[in-house]
A = this chain, B = another copy of it.
Amino acid sequence: MSAKQYSEDHRVVYYETNVTGTVGIGRLVDLMMLASEDQSKQLGVTNEKIAKRGLGWVVTQHIIDITRLPQADDVITLSTIAKSYNRFFCYRDFKVEDQHGNELVKMHSVFVLMDRQKRKIVRLPVDIITPYEAEYTKRIERLKTPQSVENISGQKNYRVRFMDIDANHHVNNVHYFDWMLDALSSDFLLNHRLTKMNISYRQEVYYGDQITSEVELDEKNLTTKHLITTGDQQNCLAECQWEKIK
> How many chain A residues touch B (Cβ–Cβ < 8 Å)?
36
Q: Are A178 and B163 in contact (CB under 8 A)?
A: yes
Q: Are A207 and B182 in contact (CB under 8 A)?
A: no
Interface string of A12-35 (1 = CB under 8 A from B): 011101111100101000100110
What's the number of copies of this chain in the assembled complex?
Answer: 2
Q: Which residues of the other chain, B, contact A18 by a CB distance below 8 angstroms?
A: 162-163, 165-167
Bound complex: CA of A24 vs CA of B165, how far in Å? 11
Q: Are B163 and A186 in contact (CB under 8 A)?
A: no
Q: Are B174 and A15 in contact (CB under 8 A)?
A: yes
Bound complex: CA of A104 vs CA of B168, how far in Å? 23
Q: Which residues of the other chain, B, contact A26 by a CB distance below 8 angstroms?
A: 163
CB closest chain-B residue, reference A184: B162
* 8 residue pairs, one from A and one from B, having the closest CB atoms: A17-B167, A19-B165, A15-B30, A163-B178, A161-B182, A21-B167, A162-B182, A13-B34
Q: Are B161 and A14 in contact (CB under 8 A)?
A: no
Q: Are B34 and A166 in contact (CB under 8 A)?
A: no
Given A186-B207, A207-B186, CB of A17 within 8 Å of CB of B178: no
Q: Which of B15, B34, B169, B186 contacts A19 (CB 8 A)?
A: B169
Can you offer 27 A-B residue contacts whose CB atoms are under 8 A? A13-B34, A14-B37, A14-B167, A15-B30, A15-B166, A15-B172, A15-B173, A17-B166, A18-B165, A18-B167, A19-B162, A19-B165, A19-B166, A19-B167, A19-B169, A19-B207, A20-B167, A26-B163, A156-B159, A161-B178, A162-B184, A162-B186, A163-B178, A163-B181, A163-B182, A186-B207, A186-B208
